[in-house]
Structure 1
Amino acid sequence: MRLKNHMISSIVLVMGMASFSQTGLQKKADNLFNKFSFVAATNAYKELISKNDNADYATRQLANCYAYLRNPDSAVVYYKKVIKQPNVPNQYYYNYAQALRGVQDYKESRIWLKRFKDEGGDLKESDIVNDNDFINKIYNVKPHYFLKDVNFNSKFSDFGAYEKNGNTYFISSRDEGVILKHIDGWNEEPFLDIYVKATSSSDSIVNNKFKLQGSVNTVYHEGSLAISKDGKTLYFSRSDFNEQILGKTDENVTNLKIYKANLVDGKWTNIEELPFNSSTYSIAHPALNNDETKLYFTSNMPGGMGGTDIYYVDINSNGYGTPQNLGAPVNTNKNESFPFINNDGKLFLASDGHPGLGLLDIFETVSDENDKIINVINLGIPVNSSKDDFSFFMNEDGLSGYFASNRNGGMGSDDIYAFYRVPQLKIEDTVTDAETNKPIANATVTLLDSRSSSLDTVKTGENGHFNINIDRDTDYYIQVKKDDYLDYTKAVSSKGIDKNTTSINTSIVLSPDKIKSKPITELQSIYFDYNNYDIRKESTVELDRIVTLMTTTYPDMVIKIESYSDSRGSSKYNNKLSQKRAKTTYNYLINKGINPERISEYKGYGEQNLTNQCNDAAPCTEEQHQLNRRTQFIVVRMY
């Protein structure tokens, strides 16, 4: 059966047989279904439906066939009919919801997930409630991955691309040019083999001549692979096929195993089955960690968390250890598969158990300082889609690689997609003391967006150093605070930065807070009339006092101006109005002789940071609204 589908199924299918007397045609259809010949089974169930022969049952089975074929577009049509049947098993509500996600109908999917939960299904309410926010976030975040064409896909299944030593290895069922062909009844495609081509070659014709040299490929499935750093050892998935004998379970199912091969005179030979395999369950999709002391893989062995899980075994001088389940948060009660470890030691995987866009999505893991995995993050679009996205691979440069998907617009059932990444950009520097030039440890550095909302906060190390990851083509502010020092704020932009640049260095020098030893009267806010940005006559008293302080008492003091509005009116209008108030205030001080360099910034913040509860929903007096129509002055530096 098809390698990918043998290991994963994004929904738990209801496979109970009908309790009533079976016709000959229904027996034929069920036999095909139970042999995993789903393409042929769909035709048989359609014939049953057309003859109104146990049509409700046939409709349920037909929907299940399309789910196994990873075809949500067709599955959703028939599950929609199924959920209208009387006394339909609750599981079909979940199946329908998952198929709806596969066609990007997330709103309707949440309705049926809730129905599934309300009728006793094992699902958290929070998963349903938070789904809308998750989908919006995924589609609105800036992409970090970009796709480029792959010219060696075929009309059949292609996946598992893997680069090593100038060659690109991949898995394909394109073998239709030989006299003796073995067809997988699951999807009626030829069985999968491993192919290899020169990475630098632009030749789009990759045929039988490109099959992996040696004795790895057989008449049954070969699949995902991993190659040792020295290029001499190959781990690969294969159907349970040894010495021309195809292994089967009592249920007539052939499982997958991992095998090892050695490169001898340019050919892969000395095929060896790994000792922790079993004929009663599948082990597949090998991946090596960086020092080759662990082999990761996928399995549905007993004792897992549900579906298929990610496991690993230790590789040592005596052979292999005992398989260990990675557990949560990597594995869920659904399906995790296709592990890959990049050059930085980060695990990537495919899963339909973590929040995703549809069927299988690709995820990366996040680890703490002790290398313990603490979270799993969806890679987002364009890597992920509403269909199956899997078999992720990243080159050693960390900037390019491959994955596979059966998304719309491809050439075959699964296609290989190449990706590239623009290097992560970060702001990094050392915070120093203005007087001693020594680094300042444990200072708080906050990254703010253009609206002064906090995005990330870090502490400087013992050497005063910090770094914060940022997006490209974006404006930011860096705010630095430390006890006994004046607050520091600086505008930083990543616009126009060359795509190969990885860091922005910004000079940050903190001045000791001499205001504590040399008290200064607090700079008072000034206020504005409703829908107006003119300086009031009474406000000139405070403005003139500030001018005097800055020109005589504190000739080195630097300030910034922040202006606000009340909540009435649209946010867009209030932003413009408050900016005009900031500009008017700035102009007044400049016209009174203040050097522009001593006003680090003047900015309007609209109706942000209300001083009271007078938002759009609250009834407030004019006096209460007045408190929000203000300009305030912040001391930035004082030498």
Structure 2
Amino acid sequence: MKFKFIISFLVFMPLLTFAQNKKSKADNLFYGYQYQQAITEYKKEMEKNPLTNHQLLNLADSYFSKGSFDNASELYLEVNKNDTIMSVNRFNKMLQSLSKISERDRVKTFLRSKADKLSPELLENAEFNYSLLEIPNKNDNNIIRDLGINSPQGDFSPAFYKNGILFSSSRSRNSKNVYEPTGESYLNIYFARINSSNALVDVEAFKEIPATEFHKSTPYYSSKLSTFFYILSNTEDGELRYDENGKNALAIGTLSENGRFRFILKDLSTSFYYPFFDDTTERLYFAANFDDSYGGTDLYYVYTNNGQIMSAPINLGPRINSPGNEIAPYIFDGSLYFSSDVFYGLGGMDIYKSNILADEAYTIPVNLGEGINSKSDDFGFIIERSKDDDGLSGFFASNRKGGKGGDDLYAFELDETPGLKTFALGGKVVNLRNKAGLQGAQVRLLNQQGDILKEVVSGTDGSFRIEIPWMSQVTIQAMSDGYSIFSTTYSEEGMKEIQNTAYNMGLAKMEDLITEKEEKTVLKLKKFYFDKGKSTMNAQVETELKKVIDAVERFPQIRLRIESYTDSRGSSSYNKRLSQDRANTIKQYLLSNGLNSHNIIEATGYGEEKIVNNCTNGAYCLDFLHKQNERTLFVVE
């Protein structure tokens, strides 16, 4: 991928000074991107003196660039074992190399052995995608179409514009200027019209963006702002500008349709790539390699006001960014599409999709699978609804076999949104009484058969996030030592509603649900009354019985004895029968609403047998004193 090569060149250019200071011919060849010659020269130097770890890594990178992954992985592993100088980006290359030589199980073992040193997001992303790639591919590869407008040079970075697309290319511009690392023309922006067959025709240099002798690439057009965003070389008075280390970086510029140009992200020592402006949020997304990078290039965004930068760059975090390179962000229908060369893909750069949640978190990025992705580099994915609204279509770039040049543009049509649909849930496990977060609580997702699909542990503040492939029904459980169990089942409709909310689960301690009364341990409830002389349910009774059901659901092993009492008014036999009918009504309601015979030992009506005050037969008492004797106890055994 030529644009990836440019990224590497700009990232490593400051090291040229290092290479020249060492006065090693092999180093000079390596930093000049002459990898095959560097391999030969490093081998010669090894015969005379051992290579430094820096040089061993250069040699490993050279092997990696030439596709000799067995040699590359051997060297990466050697340096990783003996030293700590390996960058996270080279760590990714080491695992990529192992994956390339069919050592995926070895990669998994390596990840497990380093689990305490790697981010939990990286481990979870890897595990999820490894499992995903084992699922038989359902994509129809015939949806991918090569395009006749590709050139022998690199063609990539498509972007929708009016009735066609803009794209980047290093095809000849009839200019004497040549970009030395590739030997081809500097990148330029072109336009191609989309015809009725969704093919690209009538390619021409895009003249609405002013010409430059140097790089001009990866355009994006915002219809909301009527503005072009694109990258270009840092220049001044028509000449390239360099930082103190001799590096020329790429900046992001904008051009409004009235012809006003301005740089909006510019740093002589930092390159910016692949701008994408989200019209909905007015965020400008891009790729860059700042100091807080998780690997190579990471994805960032800045807040804007009508395209004017209003914040410092914000890293999308370890759920999206990895030890590899992430580029080409694109948002469609609430999902972020991007490309990454992280080690757990199909090979090279792959296209991933992550759903953007309500709390601005991201679901696990899922590989779009074979067809869209290949063993080569696949990147620059864009998608839109078909004009007749019966499907989806779009474009991406790839250097897969069968193309015309290093990178080629491909078109696709889909019946539905690409990528595995997932169910992602986030929130907190809290103490039901004081709403404090519970650390270390187990959160589980179970399928319809009751099998545990995934389990995570809540963080210090009780927070959790869990994700699985989509299914028709899921049961969510939370539990913690000394606390109740939370368990609720949702169908697909309910799953859709809750996954975009902060989902909090309250757990109770048994002592918060019980109290001592009449020298018995009973459930803590508000006192309730049946209608006078009746044993049928009413709203007040039902409200309190729902609390009983909730308590038993939280503590499934709980066993209850239902005791119903009346006051002394009326005959003893009538009161006995009435209280037994009320006890039976309560038992039947509980059994028909989820409890079982294990939870209810017995339901007994005692009538006026156990008066708690002096209001016995024949005694005169006010009504509120008689009411003290009319009660129902749920005795915990």
TM-score by length of 2: 0.56
Is 1:416 the counterpart of 2:409? The answer is: yes
Corresponding residue for residue 263 of structure 2? 273
Is 1:301 the counterpart of 2:301? The answer is: no
Letter in 2 for 1:138: L
Any conservation in 2 of the 1:290–1:345 contact (CA below 8 Å)?
no
Corresponding residue for residue 149 of structure 1? 145
Any conservation in 1 of the 2:287–2:297 contact (CA below 8 Å)?
yes
2:176 pairs, out of 177, 180, 187, with: 180
1:255 pairs, out of 249, 269, 292, with: 249
Query: Structure 1 residues 291 and 192 mapped into 2: Cα distance closer, same or farther (>3 Å)?
Result: same
Corresponding residue for residue 4 of structure 1? 4
1:362 pairs, out of 325, 329, 351, with: 351
Corresponding residue for residue 101 of structure 1? 99
2:326 pairs, out of 336, 345, 352, with: 336
Corresponding residue for residue 402 of structure 1? 395
Corresponding residue for residue 560 of structure 2? none
Corresponding residue for residue 381 of structure 1? 369
- Between the aligned partners of 2:239 and 2:233, the Cα distance in structure 1 is 11
Query: Structure 1 residues 240 and 467 mapped into 2: Cα distance closer, same or farther (>3 Å)?
Result: same
Deviation of 1:166 after TM superposition, in Å, equals: 1.0
Query: Structure 1 residues 290 and 128 mapped into 2: Cα distance closer, same or farther (>3 Å)?
Result: closer
Query: Structure 1 residues 424 and 210 mapped into 2: Cα distance closer, same or farther (>3 Å)?
Result: closer
Corresponding residue for residue 457 of structure 1? 473
Deviation of 1:341 after TM superposition, in Å, equals: 1.6
Query: Structure 1 residues 31 and 180 mapped into 2: Cα distance closer, same or farther (>3 Å)?
Result: same
Query: Structure 1 residues 189 and 76 mapped into 2: Cα distance closer, same or farther (>3 Å)?
Result: farther
Residue 33 of structure 1 aligns to a residue whose secondary structure is: helix
Any conservation in 1 of the 2:146–2:403 contact (CA below 8 Å)?
no
- Between the aligned partners of 2:324 and 2:283, the Cα distance in structure 1 is 24
Query: Structure 1 residues 284 and 52 mapped into 2: Cα distance closer, same or farther (>3 Å)?
Result: closer
Structure 1 runs not aligned, ≥5 long: 426-445, 470-482, 485-515, 521-639
Corresponding residue for residue 192 of structure 1? 187
- Between the aligned partners of 2:83 and 2:233, the Cα distance in structure 1 is 34
- Between the aligned partners of 2:406 and 2:109, the Cα distance in structure 1 is 29
Query: Structure 1 residues 217 and 284 mapped into 2: Cα distance closer, same or farther (>3 Å)?
Result: farther
1:221 pairs, out of 215, 220, 226, with: 215
Query: Structure 1 residues 114 and 379 mapped into 2: Cα distance closer, same or farther (>3 Å)?
Result: closer
1:173-572 → structure 2 map (5 Å cutoff): 173-175=170-172, 178=174, 180-185=176-181, 187-200=182-195, 210-229=204-223, 232-263=226-257, 269-274=259-264, 276-291=265-280, 293-316=282-305, 319-328=308-317, 329-332=319-322, 334-342=324-332, 344-352=333-341, 355-368=344-357, 370=358, 372-382=360-370, 383-397=372-386, 399-423=392-416, 455-457=471-473, 466=493
Residue 372 of structure 1 aligns to a residue whose secondary structure is: coil
Corresponding residue for residue 62 of structure 2? 65
Residue 364 of structure 2 aligns to a residue whose secondary structure is: strand
Query: Structure 1 residues 310 and 204 mapped into 2: Cα distance closer, same or farther (>3 Å)?
Result: closer
Deviation of 1:347 after TM superposition, in Å, equals: 2.0
Rg comparison, structure with higher value: 2
Letter in 2 for 1:282: S
- Between the aligned partners of 1:324 and 1:127, the Cα distance in structure 2 is 22
Deviation of 1:387 after TM superposition, in Å, equals: 3.7
Letter in 1 for 2:205: K
- Between the aligned partners of 1:281 and 1:165, the Cα distance in structure 2 is 32
2:118 pairs, out of 111, 123, 129, with: 123
Deviation of 1:415 after TM superposition, in Å, equals: 2.6
Q: State the Cα deviation string for residues 245-290 of structure 1 (Å, max 9, x = none).
A: 21222222211110112346xxxx543211x421121222111113
Q: CA RMSD in A?
A: 5.0
Residue identity over aligned pairs, in percent, reads 23
Residue 301 of structure 1 aligns to a residue whose secondary structure is: coil
Corresponding residue for residue 466 of structure 2? none
Deviation of 1:134 after TM superposition, in Å, equals: 3.7
- Between the aligned partners of 1:3 and 1:242, the Cα distance in structure 2 is 23
Deviation of 1:167 after TM superposition, in Å, equals: 1.2
Structure 2 runs not aligned, ≥5 long: 419-445, 454-469, 476-490, 497-544, 547-587, 593-637
- Between the aligned partners of 1:273 and 1:48, the Cα distance in structure 2 is 42
Provide the aligned length of Structure 1 versus Structure 2: 434
